[in-house]
Amino acid sequence: MKVCVVGSGAREHVLAHVLGRTAEVVVTPGNPGVPGSVATPPAGVEADLYVVGPEAPLVAGLADELRASGRLVFGPGADGARLEGSKAWMKQVVEAAGVPTARYGAFHEVEPAVEFLRSLPGPWVVKTDGLAAGKGVLVATSLDEAIADVRAKLAGEAFGEAGRTVVVEEGMTGPELSLLAVCDGTRAVALAPAQDFKRIGDGDTGPNTGGMGAYSPVPGAGEALVADVMARCVEPTLAELRRRGIDYRGVLYAGLMLTPHGPRLVEFNVRFGDPEAQVVLPRLASDLAELLATASSGDLTHASPPAFVDDACVTVVLASEGYPAAPRSGDVIEGIAKAEATGATVFCAGVARGPAGDLVTAGGRVLAVTGTGASVAAAREHAYRAAELISWPGLYHRTDIALEAALR
In whole angstroms, the minimum distance from the beta carbon of 165 to ligand AMP comes to: 14
One symbol per residue from 271 to 310: x for binding ligand AMP (CB under 6 A), - otherwise; what is it? Answer: ----------------------------------------
Neighbours of 244 (CB within 10 A): 12
Neighbours of 32 (CB within 10 A): 15
Q: Which is nearer to ligand AMP, 141 or 304 (CB)?
A: 141
User: How far, in Å, CA of 239 to CA of 17, rounded?
Assistant: 32
Return the residues of window 14-73 that contact ligand AMP according to CB under 6 A. Answer: none
Q: Which is nearer to ligand AMP, 145 or 176 (CB)?
A: 176
Residue 143 phi, psi dihedral angles, 5° rounding: -65, -40
Size of the site for ligand AMP (CB under 6 A): 15
Binding to ligand AMP by residue 145, rule CB under 6 A? no
Q: Which is nearer to ligand AMP, 176 or 400 (CB)?
A: 176
Q: Which is nearer to ligand AMP, 149 or 169 (CB)?
A: 169
For residues 264 and 1, is the Cβ–Cβ distance under 8 A?
Answer: no
Binding to ligand AMP by residue 198, rule CB under 6 A? yes
For residues 135 and 210, is the Cβ–Cβ distance under 8 A?
Answer: yes
For residues 278 and 370, is the Cβ–Cβ distance under 8 A?
Answer: yes
For residues 116 and 106, is the Cβ–Cβ distance under 8 A?
Answer: no
In whole angstroms, the minimum distance from the beta carbon of 210 to ligand AMP comes to: 10
**Stretch of 133-141, 180-188, 238-246, 398-406 lying at the interface with ligand AMP (CB under 6 A):** 133-141
Q: Name the β-bridge partners of 252.
A: 181
Binding to ligand AMP by residue 219, rule CB under 6 A? no
Binding to ligand AMP by residue 172, rule CB under 6 A? yes
Binding to ligand AMP by residue 93, rule CB under 6 A? no
**Stretch of 29-37, 45-53, 165-173, 339-347 lying at the interface with ligand AMP (CB under 6 A):** 165-173
Q: Which ranges of 86-167 does DSSP label H, i.e. alpha helix?
A: 87-97, 110-119, 143-154
**Stretch of 28-36, 38-46, 164-172, 334-342 lying at the interface with ligand AMP (CB under 6 A):** 164-172
Neighbours of 343 (CB within 10 A): 11
CB-based contacts of 154: which residues, under 8 Å, 6+ apart?
107, 108, 109, 110, 113, 163, 164, 166
**Which one, of 107, 249, 275, 120, lies nearest residue 194 by Cα?**
275
In whole angstroms, the minimum distance from the beta carbon of 43 to ligand AMP comes to: 30
Binding site for ligand AMP (CB under 6 A): 102, 125, 127, 134, 137, 139, 169, 171-172, 176, 198, 208, 255, 266-267
